[in-house]
Structure 1
Amino acid sequence: MNEVAILAYDGCWAMGVFSATDFFRIVALLEQHLGVPQGYRARVLSIDGGPVQAASGHAIHPDAALEAADDCQLIVIPPIEGPRLAAGFAPDARALAWLAQCKARGARVLAMTTGACHVAAAGLGRDMLLATHWAYTRLLNKRYPDCTFVAHSSFTQAQGIWSSGSLGGGFDALLEMLAQDQGDRFAQLCATHLLVSMPERLSPILPGHRNHRDPVVLKVQDWIENHHRQAISIASLAREAGLSERTLKRRFQLATHLPPNLYVQRVRVDKAKKLLLSSGLPVKAIAYEVGYENVSFFIRLFKTQVGQTPAQWRDGASLPAP
């Protein structure tokens, strides 16, 4: 079983703490329904196990102290309240030492928005692209010059460290990890039950394709994911990126290990998976919703990528809400 440690500390946003606990509660309910063993145990931890005061002033009562999770496989760091960060907030040295030790043992780390300051302060983000809240990129880049902080609506990932620029990006990162651990189908089921957005608006689960440091390509990926229903050409992507078509194709392939046209196809198939799970729309309507007017082409494409037709995938993956 994967041990998940969610760090609670004075001034953190409670919604970051409990969005993670609720995510793994949904995972547990799906596992229970499917009759598979529980894959995760999520616990809220503080430095000494005592209560902490969230940014709202409410108390968070942790399950244990940090020392109880020295062998955890995933650490989730919620955001720090912005005004505290601007006033000079410095992560506790004990939390940083524990974080570095767990990372050295192979733990994955998810830092939500301003929580990325812990990664930087622990010396784990050197020469790394870290996503954070747009309002604090300049402050964090000045405070931690060995790291590069960027505003990003979803997340970045490198060397076992995920960082998100929004609360939704934190869910995106957790879904990517879930897909790596439990497979695409299970992660898609979880995504459709999150209740954070309409399923077709959720970011695609495409593990590994954001594991790069090219901010222009990340911007293009975001654009594709938000405009997948439109007719997308290399020329339109190049205009969005401010690059020549040749340069775009080269940089996109280098960063994502996919050509742009194939990435567009994978985004559309992912969106179709979510619609197949969450709606009763016929396959023809779903093909149109994700950007294909030719339903036969869409079915062939889906089967090539997934190994099943859309109807077969829907039948095999259907599940009532937990």
Structure 2
Amino acid sequence: MEQIAILAYDGCWAMGLFSAADFFRIAALLEKHLGMQPSFTVRVVSVDGAPVSAAGGHVITPDAALEDVRAASLIVLPAIEGPRLAGFEADARVLEWLGQHIDAGTRVLALTTGAAWLAASGRLDGGLLATHWAFVRQLGKRYPACRFVARESFLQEGGLYSTGSLNGCFDALLDILARDRGDRFAQLCATHLLVADPHRLGPILPGHRNHCDDTVLRVQDWIESHHAEPLTIERMARQAGVSQRTFKRRFSEATKLPPNLYLQQVRIDKAKKLLLATQLSVREIATGVGYENVSFFVRLFKARVGTTPARWREGAS
């Protein structure tokens, strides 16, 4: 069973801490419902196991101390309250513990300003870290060995994840879940998060936003919100404000996918969520994600997923 450790410390935002804990509670409930063996044990930890005061003044009582967690598969670092960043000094005991786990291959997810912990660890020197847009400059001055960027979703450097928003926390956790438990289970988890209508849930497309081309990122956002429309390379390039040739080159370099294939993956991902979270027919879902030709949609879905939409909805492969 994999162990998830969520760090609690004075001045952390409890919202991020409990969002991560509740995410894995949803995953555990789904595993039970599906008759699967439980995969995760979640523990909130503090330096010495003693209670800490969160940013809002509420007391968090941890489950364990750092020394009690010797083998974690994932460590979550909640955000620091913004005004506390100026006087933030990373606890040496946390940094030693964190560094040992990173060196042992443990994945780490830093939520917005929690990226300061990753920067202070020295394990991402020369790398990119996502954080809340309001603290990009402040963190960049504090930790010049790292480059900080605002990112709604998340960045990934090996097993180290960072995000600039609470929604990005869920995106990163779904990415991790998809790698560990498979795409269908992650899609089920996404549809049970109840943070948005299924039509509005972000796609689970691991790795394709792990770049810093802001123009391409804006077009990706635009594609994901306009995927049901007839989208051509010409329209995408116009949205980017560059020539079609330049757009195709930049998009492929940044995302590692040609634009048309990225659009296909977004549409298929949206269809997966609608298949699980609604009673819409396959025809209605095909039309809803941008395919008027239902037969073409079914063939494309089977080619991408390995089974038909109807069988995927039923859980068959």
TM-score past 0.5 threshold = yes
TM-score for both structures, normalised by structure 2:
0.95
Give the letter aligned to residue 80 of structure 2: I
Q: Distance in 2 between matches of 1:32 and 1:251?
A: 44
Structure 2 unaligned regions, length at least 5: none
Superposition pairs of residues 169-318 of structure 1, within 5 angstroms: 169-316=168-315
Q: Distance in 1 between matches of 2:247 and 2:260?
A: 12
Superposition pairs of residues 61-76 of structure 1, within 5 angstroms: 61-76=61-76
CA offset at residue 213 of structure 1?
4.3
Spell out, residue by residue over 1:214-247, the C-alpha distance to the aligned partner (whole angstroms, 9 max, x if none): 4433333222222222222222322333333222
TM-score for both structures, normalised by structure 1:
0.94
Instruction: Look up the match of 1:40.
Output: 40
Instruction: Look up the match of 2:16.
Output: 16
Identity among equivalent positions (%) equals 65
Q: Identify if the C-alpha distance between structure 1 residues 127 and 16 changes in structure 2 by more than 3 Å, giving closer, same or farther.
A: same
CA offset at residue 165 of structure 1?
1.1
Query: Which range is displaced more, 121-130 or 39-48?
Result: 121-130
CA offset at residue 17 of structure 1?
0.7
Instruction: Look up the match of 1:122.
Output: 121
Instruction: Look up the match of 2:134.
Output: 135
Q: Distance in 2 between matches of 1:159 and 1:224?
A: 26
Query: Which range is displaced more, 229-238 or 279-288?
Result: 229-238
Conserved in 2, the CA contact under 8 Å of 1:21 and 1:42?
yes
Structure 1 SS opposite 2:57: coil
Conserved in 2, the CA contact under 8 Å of 1:27 and 1:190?
yes
Conserved in 2, the CA contact under 8 Å of 1:283 and 1:310?
yes
CA offset at residue 249 of structure 1?
1.7
Give the letter aligned to residue 171 of structure 1: F
CA offset at residue 127 of structure 1?
2.2
Structure 2 SS opposite 1:268: helix
CA offset at residue 125 of structure 1?
2.1
Instruction: Look up the match of 1:53.
Output: 53
Instruction: Look up the match of 2:154.
Output: 155
Give the letter aligned to residue 46 of structure 2: S
Conserved in 2, the CA contact under 8 Å of 1:9 and 1:53?
yes
Q: Identify if the C-alpha distance between structure 1 residues 214 and 128 changes in structure 2 by more than 3 Å, giving closer, same or farther.
A: farther
Give the letter aligned to residue 109 of structure 2: L
Conserved in 1, the CA contact under 8 Å of 2:136 and 2:148?
yes
Q: Distance in 2 between matches of 1:207 and 1:174?
A: 11
Q: Distance in 2 between matches of 1:98 and 1:218?
A: 34
Conserved in 2, the CA contact under 8 Å of 1:6 and 1:17?
yes
Q: Identify if the C-alpha distance between structure 1 residues 70 and 217 changes in structure 2 by more than 3 Å, giving closer, same or farther.
A: farther
Q: Identify if the C-alpha distance between structure 1 residues 259 and 185 changes in structure 2 by more than 3 Å, giving closer, same or farther.
A: same
Q: Distance in 1 between matches of 2:283 and 2:254?
A: 33
Give the letter aligned to residue 167 of structure 2: G
Q: Distance in 1 between matches of 2:123 and 2:237?
A: 34
Conserved in 2, the CA contact under 8 Å of 1:157 and 1:212?
no
Instruction: Look up the match of 1:80.
Output: 80
